[in-house]
Amino acid sequence: SAHLAFDPKDPRYVYGTGYHGQLDEYDRETRFVRDVRPWPTVGLAEPSDKMKYRFNWSTPVITSPHDRNVIYYGGNVLFRSSDRGQSWTVVSPDLTRNDKSRQGWGGGPITNEGAGGEVYGTIYYIAESPREAGTIWVGTDDGLVQLTRDAGKTWSNVTPRDLPESLINMVEPSPHDPATAYVAVSRHKLNDNTPLLYRTTDYGKSWSRLVSGLREGEPVRVVREDPNRRGLLYAGTETGMYLSFDGGARWQSLQRNLPAVPVTDLQVRRRDLVISTEGRAFWIMDDASPLYELADSVAKAPVYLVAPRPAYRTTLGGGPDTPPPGVGKNPPNGAILRYALAKAADSTAPLTLEILDPKGAVVRSFTSAAAKYDSAGGQARPPKLPAAAGMNRFIWDLRANGIAGVPGTLSGPVPGPRVTAGSYQVRLKLGPETRTRPLEVLPDPRSTYSAEAAAGQQELLQKITADLDAIHGAARRMRSARAQVQQLIDRTRDQPAADTIARAGRALVARIDSLVGSLVNVRNRTFQDVVNYPPGINASFGALAQIVDGGDAPVTAGLRARFADLEAAWAAMRPQAEAVLGAGVAGVNALAKARGVEAVTPE
């Protein structure tokens, strides 16, 4: 039943409440807990009309958004403390109806229910305007909305005139305008499930009821205004989520894959919409950016690219694995790119997406066309760009183009290195239509390494990638040549001078086998074979790339020394590979040509 309050920037001290006005301070560093109530009392079985202060089952507590050292705490009056609950000041009169006929014993006629759930005539919600210090809104469980604009010196009853006795479930001061607030109201305890939601734009002098589009029979639990777009509202009801683009004048469902469940609270955090529910866990809509740009013009445009929010260069995002039961799923790792199409793209005019680096060079490209890749050539299947009518989502993993593998071996395709933090461009093309948006790639906020260190890391990664690409390319071409030479020997077996071709061919095959075996391991058939057969030099380059690319840290002297050693070894092997693919293949081809046989053409 707790409300929790703390300083989001320094959440060492957490204030939590419970029934009968329980209020504890929890120190996250020492793990000490202390009671900081202004009026400690047992409360159990005590008639509410005999209590000095009345508190409901879910006693509200907040810290001021303007001074997190200030705590507000609600009974039937509002309390204020600025010294972590050491002392308290009552800063209001009784803000409830104080209806004596609703006070007294908690139950009857046989037994008394004195656990605190039946205490009535209390403050149920407290909210201070984030735009105006001292402007505090209070909602009570008996249907009053109270307002102070001077931190409690004077109060006004600003309850909507047509609102009968109700539960003021939540008050949302606008993050854009101090005179505007929204109120979610419920009368379910009075057997009335009518949705009730109100807005004021003049500090409660007048109110508008905002229920168009909300289903009948669904009390409203919570309403929030998006801090990033004025008039963009979210509402949680007894069965789910609603959205309004026009300040609540019209509502539409935002249910998507959310189960039919009471939504108890909402917050927008860094453009993510965070939802708490009653009984079905926390849910997060990863990146609500499209909601900031949706309008009729978007629906009518042939192609519309939503401005992507900054992407963090981390490796903590969600992967393909399904999380175990009870464990939440992380958002996808990388940049979340969203775009709307008036109609689906087809094969005659596919959709393409390009990522441009700070210098304007294309570092990665994707298409909606059927994947054209050569699995026999060691290439990885590229991710296909979705291109359905309506809104689409695509994740760029913040990596540059990868490296093709070596077919017939366990040396498969290698992902490209992660790009550095910086200013990129996203370019979307559909026929003659082109849309471009900036994309900021930000460093991991936990990282402290410098831009100079990041540049050094990227420089080494590019060198490793270039060498590994050359090694795999040489291995592929030599293995292709080997297969063709063997076929040549088989085709000329019954021809004159077959022994000459066979001897030259077998000599070339032996050279290829010896050299390719030092570049890549051709004997591994399962993952565990790596403990049995020595790796090729490509494995050492690949392991080095994983180390450098696996974290945010300056390149160590050990990494540079190891790279220099590997580069020297490859420098010695490279001329041998070039000789095999050059003079070696040419010699065999000369013998084949003299006999009118098809030549070897390494690919």
Q: How many whole angstroms separate alpha carbon 45 and alpha carbon 93?
A: 25
Using one digit for the tens of pLDDT, what is the confidence trace for 126-143? 999 999 999 999 999 999
284 pLDDT exceeds 60? yes
Using one digit for the tens of pLDDT, what is the confidence trace for 216-256? 999 999 999 999 999 999 999 999 999 999 999 999 999 99
497 pLDDT exceeds 80? no
Using one digit for the tens of pLDDT, what is the confidence trace for 256-271? 999 999 999 999 998 8
Q: What share of the chain is helix, strand, coil (3-state, %, to 5)?
A: 25, 25, 50
Using one digit for the tens of pLDDT, what is the confidence trace for 195-207? 999 999 999 999 9
Q: pLDDT at position 552, please?
A: 87
Is the pLDDT higher at 172 or at 290?
172
Using one digit for the tens of pLDDT, what is the confidence trace for 571-586? 999 999 999 999 999 9
| Residue count of the chain | 603
588 pLDDT exceeds 70? yes
Q: pLDDT at position 525, please?
A: 85
Across the chain, what does the average pLDDT equal? Answer: 92
150 pLDDT exceeds 90? yes
Q: pLDDT at position 570, please?
A: 97
Q: Where are the beta strands (DSSP E) in 88-215?
A: 89-90, 123-128, 136-140, 145-148, 156-157, 167-173, 181-187, 192-200, 208-209
Using one digit for the tens of pLDDT, what is the confidence trace for 551-571? 888 999 999 999 999 999 999
Using one digit for the tens of pLDDT, what is the confidence trace for 504-553? 999 999 999 999 999 999 988 887 888 888 899 999 999 999 999 988 88
Whether residue 62 contacts residue 5, with contact meaning beta carbons closer than 8 Å, is answered with: yes
For residues 58, 59, 60, 63, the Cα torsion angle rounded to the nearest 10 degrees is: -130
Q: How many whole angstroms separate alpha carbon 363 and alpha carbon 401?
A: 7
Using one digit for the tens of pLDDT, what is the confidence trace for 292-315? 887 656 667 899 999 999 999 987
Whether residue 4 contacts residue 16, with contact meaning beta carbons closer than 8 Å, is answered with: yes
What region, left, alpha or beta, does residue 102 occupy, with left being phi > 0 and alpha being psi -120 to 50 degrees? alpha
**pTM (predicted TM-score):** 0.82
186 pLDDT exceeds 90? yes
Q: pLDDT at position 595, please?
A: 81
Q: pLDDT at position 526, please?
A: 85
Using one digit for the tens of pLDDT, what is the confidence trace for 338-383? 999 999 998 888 999 999 999 999 999 999 997 665 555 566 778 8
Q: pLDDT at position 317, please?
A: 56
Q: How many whole angstroms separate alpha carbon 335 and alpha carbon 312?
A: 8
Given strand 282-285, what is the order of strands in its sheet? 263-269, 272-277, 282-285
Tokens 């001077």 map to which residue?
Answer: 150
Q: Which pair of tokens denotes residue 428?
A: 């979307």
- 48-62, 401-415, 480-494: range with highest mean pLDDT: 48-62
Q: pLDDT at position 405, please?
A: 92
Binning pLDDT at 50, 70 and 90, where does residue 447 land? confident
Q: pLDDT at position 370, please?
A: 78
Binning pLDDT at 50, 70 and 90, where does residue 319 land? low
